[in-house]
Amino acid sequence: MIVVEVFRGKSVPEQRVEIVERKGVGHPDFICDAVMEAISIALSKEYLRRFGTVLHHNIDKGLLAAGRTIKRFGGGRVVKPMELIIGDRATFFVGRKEVPVKEIAIETAKRWFKRNLRFVDPERHLRYRVVLAEGSEELKDIFLRGGRTRGSNDTSAAVGYYPLSPTEEAVLQLEKFLNSKEFKKRYPETGEDIKIMGVRRENDLEITVAMPLLSRFINSEREYFERKEVIYEEMRSFLNKNFLQHFRIIKLFFNTLDTDARGLGGVYLSLLGTSAEDADSGQVGRGNRVNGLISINRPMGTEAAAGKNPVSHIGKIYNILSHRIAQQIYENVEGIKEVYVLLMNRIGVPVDAPVMANARVILQKGVSVGDIKREVEEIFEQEFSEINRLCMELAKGKHSVC
């Protein structure tokens, strides 16, 4: 069923207050989402290579338990490695053919750390515990049944929206800028564990950034605050150049727990670039939504998309698809200011036949829902007719989920 209706509230940019968060690539929660998703993709590719189809798995339960380090100005050492716990379910056997699930999971995790965190040695700084097991017979049987598409293996719902607000864009793009290869080349002393919170009051934006400096590059408390000031000015310049046209003023706050004259107790230093080294554990589902943001003013589903099966779990498929449909509606239907898409399905029902598909649109002045209803319905129909293509794209890692 497709329902198109008018959303009677204000669009997010018109609301008086807006709050937006993003966790960067080195944040423990981001790490868990990204690593579990990488393992799902690796398993999907192995299943496709060996058996021609994606088999039952959900690698969406994971925990990164913090380790322990000793830091000093100029360096430090790891005292206790971090521990990555990889869970939930996977297909280990097809007939008598065994799939090396545990080995694939560990090697994929190691490869992710090596590619994404410059100073984390996946052999020395991490321990790995794989707690994956076979799934239930009924859920595995979904993959043996006929049909053009898989049946949903859960009763679940998801919501997406478009377009992003200027506040959302500022938060998203600032983190990507700070974790870009170019920025790290110019400022190698900055860690990857970045958390950004944006708060807009009317037309004034405040951005708070937490980003550690790496102890190996900082030889004294004085040098820390000198480098911090340089980096602060770089961030302020980026925000003013790219986003000041959307706001009256932009205020920037950086590492606000810092206090001078307190030595190591008054500065945000990291040995490896992630707080998982000794300060903060991570968990799947606590990070960004699939569009890379945690936007408090927006409706959000509770499903963690990362690591879920890409061909049967609507907790993943619909999370991506709802944002995709919202963007298609906004970009292809005249007269729409903002759009929300809600998708829901029931376990066992094919993934291309949702029980409910709902578009809630904020319309431009003079436009009625009758003017746009049929065009919106056609976009839903088109996207669901091509859902197998989306599922294969997900299986091959062509869409980010964090």
Query: Nearest 5°: phi and psi at 79?
Result: -95, -40
Per-residue pLDDT of the chain (402 residues; tens, 9 = 90+): 999 999 988 999 999 999 999 999 999 999 999 999 999 999 999 999 999 999 999 999 999 999 999 999 999 999 999 999 999 999 999 999 999 999 999 999 999 999 999 999 999 999 999 999 998 888 878 888 878 899 999 999 999 999 999 999 999 999 999 999 999 999 999 999 999 999 999 999 999 999 999 999 999 999 999 999 999 999 999 999 999 999 999 999 999 999 999 999 999 999 999 999 999 999 999 999 999 999 999 999 889 999 999 999 999 999 999 999 999 999 999 999 999 999 999 999 999 999 999 999 999 999 999 999 999 999 999 999 999 999 999 999 999 999
- Name the helix (H) or strand (E) containing 106: helix 101-116
- Distance, CA of 369 to CA of 326 (rounded, Å): 16
Identify the burial level of 229 via C-beta atoms within 10 angstroms of its C-beta, where 0-12 means exposed, 13-18 middle and 19 or more buried. exposed
Two structure tokens written together for 324 = 């995709």
Predicted local confidence at residue 103, as pLDDT: 98
DSSP string, 283-327: ETTSS--TTS-EETTS---S---TTS-TTT-HHHHHHHHHHHHHH
Residue 50 carries which side chain, given as an amino acid letter?
R
Structure-token match 């799939």, residue found: 99
Peptide bond into 188 cis (omega under 30): no
Domains observed in the chain: 2-9+155-164+290-395 (3.30.300.280), 28-139 (3.30.300.10), 166-278 (3.30.300.340)
Predicted local confidence at residue 92, as pLDDT: 96
